[in-house]
Structure formats: C-alpha cells, structure tokens
C-alpha cells in the first residue's frame, strides 16, 4: 500500500501528543508527595493524606497503561491498514455515501468501545471500588453503556446524515449549513439537557420544602435571581463523589444538586456552592461559553470545508479510495493539535470564570462556607492538592484548591 506524507504526519502527531501528555503526567506525579501549603493542612489527617497519595498514584499508573495501549492500538491500526480493511468491509454492504459513512463510523465506534470496555470496567469496579467511591452496580454499568451507545447512534448518526446531505446539496458552502445545524443542536441540548437527557440516566426530584429550600430561595431573591427549578439528582447510585451544576437558560434554567452534596455539606455550605453557580449565570459565563464553543465549531467546520475535497486527506489514513468518511477521520487526526490549542484557551477562560464565580459568592453571600465546602469536597474525592502548574495549565478547568482559597480569603 502506498503511504503519503500526511500518513507520517499523523503518526508523528499521535506520538508527540502522547509524549507531551505523559511528560505532564510525570511532572504532576513527581509532586504527589510534596508537603501541603498551610491553607490546606487541615484537610486530610495523616492516614487520609496517604490514601489520597495512593489514589493519585493508582490513577497515574492506570493512565500510563491505558493511554499507551490506545496509542499502540491506533498506530498498529494505521500501519497494518485497519482503516482500509473497514472501508472495504463497508463497501461490501453498499456504495451509497451516506449509508457507507454510517456503517464505517459504526464499525469504528463499536470496535473502540469494545476495546475500551475492560478499562472502563477496571476503573469503576477496581480503582473506584478500592477507594470506596464506587456505588455503581454491574447492571447500572451495563445499562449506562447501552443507553450511552444508543444515544451516540441516534444523535451522532442523525448529525452525520444531515451533515452529508448538506455537503451533497450545497458543495463548498456546506460548512455554513452544518454550522447552523450544530449550533441548533448545541442550543437545544443546553436548553433541554436536564429535561431530556439526564432522565435517561438519573432520577431528579424537586428539592423538598424546608429550611434548605427557603435559605436557597432567600439568597436567590436577594441577588435578583429568578429560580423556579431546584432539583436533587440521585448521584449516590453511582458514586459517593458530590457535585452541583447549572443548566439551561431563560425559563429552562435550573440548579441541580447531587443528593451526596446535600448529605455531606451544611446548609450554609450548600447555599455558598449555589451562590457560586448563580455567579456563573450572573457574570454571563454560560452565554460566553456557548458563544466561544459556537465560534470554535464554526472555525473547525470552515477549515474542514477547505480540505474535505482533497483526496490526500482520505489517503492519509491508509485507505485506497478517497471518500467523505475517510476524509473526516483524516481531518480529525490532522486537526487534533489545533483542537488541543483551543482546549487550552477554553480551560484558561474557565479558570478565570471560576475565580469570578467565587468572587460573586464571596460578595453576595460569604467566603467562609464556600472555603469549607471546597475543602470537604476535595477531601471526599481525594483530590490532588499539589498539582504541577504545567499540568494545571493544560488540563484544569478549575483553579487548584489552594489558589481558590487564597482568592476567597483575600
């Protein structure tokens, strides 16, 4: 089989990406045993601190093995003509471009999720279990995977089909139509995520009347935040880790609290967490994030439209016949360094927003309960309290705990 230059470019991208990420993991791991900053000294006792170090170490080793496995697999798949084999198999079923693309991606996705299954199983039932986080049963695990798969088939298949229809009917301008469609899907999911997607996986119940609800309502009224929907989600059926999040906007906006959060935090601490979430809304972070992701999607689609017609992009993954679906895979691989960069920018922005939301909670409510809630949540999830700055820069969407505490106490 002939291999073009881009084929080798893809191999280099994959290896360099792996090495950079492993180096960051290594830098981060070297700091697992550092002494804690004084602000964080009261979070763990000695036993728990040792446990948190072991947890980090376990996850680090697991990451090295699973990332290495997926790199070796991808490279072998490329080198030994895996894409060509799948492409030929696909062509034995049909030669219509849209069904061909659906079958091609279906086979690739099915294969990669089957290969990923043992890792996912090990993470949940061995690592998380060993550290006391796991509450997922085998049957929840299986049904989660099945539902996730069906959702991917329906949403992914639908989007891919429309995408190709636009391409076939509008030619080089297809990216604008595709962009409008993706924008519609993103907006729709943002608005109805809690109403349509979450119920597939979790039970949500409105927060019961009582002192917690009235403290939350008092706070919301004080800051002029119209809040009709406060829901409690049964996160405890999967994990002991706790969380709270904000979704939707306009009339659809709602705050969702994990039942684990309600059990672990005091009333004041919950209101403080909520004040932080309201801060994201009031400071327009939700809208800005939405706009930024729409712009990056538009940019990606525009660049895609410039290259999709070049047969070299298809041939770069080692297939013999150029096609739309092969070009999509080739493009995704070649574009990945650029998406790493947009990812860095998004994380940088997100960390800024976290400080702003903390500041909002501090000025409209109180800093002390937010500090203590962040400490409790970090302790419960055995968080890494001493991450390496380079690792934070690349991977963290939230600032490290010590920086948030210093900012809140300032």
Question: Strand, helix or coil at 402?
Answer: helix
Q: Which stretch in 25-33, 90-98, 294-302, 352-360 sits in contact with Zn ion by CB under 5 A?
A: 352-360
Which among 73-81, 298-306, 327-335, 349-357 is the span making contact with Zn ion, rule CB under 5 A?
349-357
Rounded CA gap, 255 and 116, in Å?
33
Q: Which lies closer to Zn ion via its Cβ, residue 103 or residue 286?
A: 286
**Span 354-383, contacts to Zn ion by CB under 5 A:** 354, 357
84 as an active site residue: the answer is no
Q: Burial letters for 56-77: b for 16+ Cβ neighbours within 10 Å, e otherwise?
A: beebbeeeeebeeebbeebeeb
**Dihedral over Cα of 371, 375, 381, 384: its sign:** positive
358 is catalytic: yes
Backbone angles phi and psi of 362, in degrees to 5: -65, -45
Which residues 257-276 are close enough to bind Zn ion by CB under 5 A?
none
Give the chain's end-to-end CA distance (angstroms, integer).
63
Q: What is the smallest separation between the CB atom of 349 and Zn ion, expressed in angstroms?
A: 12
Q: Determine the interface stretch with Zn ion among 91-99, 232-240, 353-361, 385-393 (rule: CB under 5 A).
A: 353-361
- Min CB(282)–Zn ion separation in Å: 12
Q: In the bound complex, what is the minimum distance in angstroms from residue 290's beta carbon to Zn ion? A: 15
- C-alpha to C-alpha distance for 144 and 237, rounded to whole angstroms: 12
- The mark string for 160-199 relative to Zn ion (x by CB under 5 A, - otherwise) is ----------------------------------------
Minimum separation from the CB atom of position 277 to Zn ion (A): 7
25, 277, 354, 403: the catalytic one is 277
Three-state DSSP class for 329? helix
Q: Taking the complex as a whole, how short is the minimal distance between the CB of residue 276 and Zn ion, in angstroms?
A: 6
Nearer to Zn ion by C-beta: 260 or 356? 356
Q: What angle do CA 30, 31, 35 make, to 5 degrees?
A: 140
CB 384 within 8 A of CB 40: no
104/365 with CB nearer Zn ion: 365
Cβ neighbors of 69 (< 8 A, separation 6 or more) are 119
Stretch that binds Zn ion, among 20-28, 252-260, 309-317, 351-359 (CB under 5 A): 351-359
Footprint of Zn ion on 36-75 (CB under 5 A):
none
Residue 8: burial class (beta carbons within 10 Å; 0-12, 13-18, 19+): exposed
Q: Whose Cβ is closer to Zn ion: residue 182's or residue 272's? A: 272
Q: Are strands 229-233 and 244-247 parallel, antiparallel or unpaired?
A: unpaired
Residues with active-site annotation: 277, 358
| Site of interaction with Zn ion (CB under 5 A) | 354, 357
């Amino acid at each position: 089989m002939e291999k073009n230059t881009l084929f080798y470019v893809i191999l280099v991208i994959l290896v360099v990406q792996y090495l950079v990420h492993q180096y960051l993991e290594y830098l981060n791991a070297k700091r697992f045993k550092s002494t804690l900053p004084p602000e964080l000294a009261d979070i763990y006792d000695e036993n728990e601190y040792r446990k948190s170090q072991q947890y980090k170490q376990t996850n680090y080793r697991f990451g090295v093995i699973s990332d290495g496995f997926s790199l070796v697999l991808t490279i072998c798949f490329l080198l030994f003509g895996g894409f060509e084999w799948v492409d030929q198999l696909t062509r034995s079923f049909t030669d219509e471009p849209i069904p061909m693309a659906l079958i091609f991606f279906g086979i690739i996705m099915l294969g990669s999720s089957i290969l990923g299954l043992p890792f996912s199983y090990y993470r949940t039932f061995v690592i998380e279990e060993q550290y006391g986080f796991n509450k997922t049963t085998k049957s929840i695990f299986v049904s989660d995977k099945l539902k996730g798969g069906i959702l991917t088939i329906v949403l992914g298949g639908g989007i891919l089909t429309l995408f190709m229809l636009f391409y076939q009917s509008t030619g080089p301008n297809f990216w604008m139509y595709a962009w409008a469609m993706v924008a519609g899907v993103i907006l729709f999911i943002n608005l109805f995520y809690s109403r349509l997607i979450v119920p597939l996986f979790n039970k949500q119940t409105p927060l019961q009347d009582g002192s917690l609800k009235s403290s939350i309502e008092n706070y919301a009224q004080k800051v002029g935040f119209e809040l009709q929907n406060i829901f409690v989600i049964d996160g405890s059926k999967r994990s002991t880790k706790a969380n709270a999040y904000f979704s939707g906007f306009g009339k659809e906006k709602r705050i969702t609290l994990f039942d684990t959060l309600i059990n672990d935090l005091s009333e004041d601490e919950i209101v403080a967490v909520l004040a932080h979430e309201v801060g994201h809304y009031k400071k327009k972070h939700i809208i800005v994030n939405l706009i930024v992701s729409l712009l990056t999607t538009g940019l990606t689609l525009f660049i895609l439209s410039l290259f999709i017609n070049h047969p070299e992009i298809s041939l770069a993954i080692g297939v013999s016949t150029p096609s739309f679906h092969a070009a999509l895979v080739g493009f995704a691989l070649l574009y990945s360094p650029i998406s790493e960069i947009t990812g860095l920018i998004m994380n940088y922005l997100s960390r800024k927003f976290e400080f702003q939301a903390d500041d909002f909670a501090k000025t409209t409510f109180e800093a002390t309960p937010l500090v203590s809630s962040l400490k409790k949540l970090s302790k419960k999830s055995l968080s890494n309290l001493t991450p390496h700055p380079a690792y934070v820069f690349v991977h963290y969407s939230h600032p490290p705990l010590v920086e948030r505490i210093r900012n809140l106490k300032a």
